[in-house]
Each structure stands twice: as structure tokens, then as C-alpha cells.
Amino acid sequence: MHTKGLVQDLAGHSHALDNYPFACILDAPLLDLAGKYNIQPWQAQVVALENQVCPERYIRNFKTMSLDMQLDLARSKVLVVGAGGLGGYVIELLVRSGAGRLFVADGDVFELSNLNRQLLGTTHLTGRPKVEAALQRARDINPFARVETFGTYLQPDDLPGLLPETDLVLDCLGGVEFRQELLQAAQGHHCPLVTGFVAGNTGLASTVFPGDKSPAAFWQADNDQGAEITLGNVSYTVSMIATLQAREAIHILTGQAPCLRNRVFLADMHTCSFQSLEL
């Protein structure tokens, strides 16, 4: 990718903002430059950040994040397994924050019973694949996000082709089926994983790096969605756990320490009591 001309043009299309040590650029001129130089929008975004020009859409990330962290996020590659309750919120938060490449896998379609808690689901999308909604939502939010979809349920044989190029796995599955296989595969490919689980008012989240202790003992013993069906799934528990997953993901991808490594965060939303337990 030849970027010399793009770098020169960035100077003419960017502007200064008070109290920020870098230049900013609006979406439209950056997209125009991507077209001019025949590169993808996400590539233009990376070049801009590499040259101290930040898309203005991310300006509120500062000073919680640095420009280098924003660049790390733009370069990141994340596998999100599940685009329903947890996954919908996680995708939303990562795309808004500036994550570069998301690979989203889910074989399910929206049902009316999903709409109480699944951010991507709407009445007119009932019966439509969840990954299609994820892709469209990402495009509507952030033209610089690169989202690829896998519209079937992942199987163990699929993972060797996905994990080697992945920086992080987000386990946003419903129930416990396939969680153990996903965790083992991530460990085998030296890839950190952030897991979340929700049933009724109870939610948990944990971060697992290769060689770490497993939070699997906290999952239900059966291999279906029994706990979710028995207790239901409410929006506030789902969104809270997904927010924790997104927080852990962003910290890992930007070189910061996760809070939930070798720990399990347990939330009881009925009593608003929270615990962080060491594994």
C-alpha cells in the first residue's frame, strides 16, 4: 500500500482542536482520501492514526485513551462468537470505540423472544440472520470498521482457520454448548479469551489468557440453554456483562492490563451485589 500521497493530503484535510496534541479529520474527507488512493476506509484510518491524525468520531475516547491506544485498537483483529444478547452489545461498543476488524460468527436468526434484550434485533428483522444485522449496524455506526461474518454455528473444525490471525476471542455464546471447545482452541492458539454468561439476574465475566485457570466450573453442567430458559434473560444483566467484556477487550487490545484475568466477576442484579472471585 503506497501511502506517501495520502500522508501529504492528510495535512490539508485535517484540523487542530484545542487541548489535543494531534490533528483531527472528519469522516467525509477521510473516506474521500480512501477512494482517491484506492484503499479501504479502515486502511486510511490506520494511516491517519499512524501520522498523528485522529478521526474526530473518536475524540471523546481521549484522554482515557491515548492516540497510540487508538491506533492499537484500529489495528486489532477480534473474533466475536455469538451476535445475540451479549454479542450485540459487545459489537456495538467495539465498533463505536474504533476496533479495526471484527469477525462475527452466529448461525441464528432473530425471534420475537430475543427482542427484550438483544440490541441488534428489531421487529422488522424477525427471521433474519443475526450476523446480517451485525454487519449493517456496524456499517451504520462506523464506516471505518471492518466486519466479516460467518453465518453458521462454529464447529471445532472451523477454529484453526480463524484463530491464528485473531488477537482476541470474545465468547458471547448463549448457554454453555461449545464454550469449552472454544476456550480450549483459544488456549491452543495462544489467544486470550473474554467470556460472559447470563441467566436471569445472574451474570459472570472472566478473562482467560493461555495457561490461565479456567472459569468453566462456573458454567452450568448441561450443554443447552437450560438456565437461561428457566430463569429468563433480562436486558440489564445482559448489557452489564457485555459492557464488562468490551471493557476487558479494549484494555487487552490497547496494551493495558485486564481486571478479570484469573478472576470471575459475579453479578446478582436482583440485590445489586457484585463479587470478584479469584480462580
pLDDT under 70 in the chain at which residues? 1-2, 220-229
What's the distance, CA 122 to chain centroid?
A: 20
pLDDT digits (tens, 9 = 90+) for 128-153: 999 999 999 999 999 999 999 999 99
Q: Could you give the angle at the alpha carbon of 205 between the alpha carbons of 203 and 211, nearest 5°?
A: 145
Among 275, 267, 277, residue whose Cα is nearest residue 201 = 267
Tell me the pairing of strands 193-199 and 168-171: parallel
Q: What is the pLDDT of residue 151?
A: 97
Separation CA 250–CA 65 (nearest Å) = 10
Q: What is the pLDDT of residue 223?
A: 52
Q: Could you give the angle at the alpha carbon of 119 between the alpha carbons of 124 and 231, nearest 5°?
A: 105
What rounded mean pLDDT belongs to the chain?
94
Q: What is the pLDDT of residue 9?
A: 96
Query: For 4-129, where are the alpha helices, taking DSSP H only?
Result: 4-13, 27-36, 41-50, 67-75, 85-97
pLDDT digits (tens, 9 = 90+) for 15-57: 999 999 999 999 999 999 999 999 999 999 999 999 999 999 9
Separation CA 180–CA 219 (nearest Å) = 10
Amino acid at position 263, single letter: R
Q: What is the pLDDT of residue 228?
A: 66
Q: For each of the domains in the chain, give its residue range(s) and CATH number, in order of start.
A: 4-59 (no CATH), 76-278 (3.40.50.720)
Q: What is the pLDDT of residue 218?
A: 84
DSSP class of 213: P
Q: What is the pLDDT of residue 177?
A: 84
Q: What are phi and psi of 109, to 5 degrees?
A: -120, 160
Contacts of 117 (CB under 8 A, 6+ apart): 85, 233, 234, 235, 238, 239
Residue 154 burial (C-beta neighbours within 10 Å; 0-12, 13-18, 19+): buried
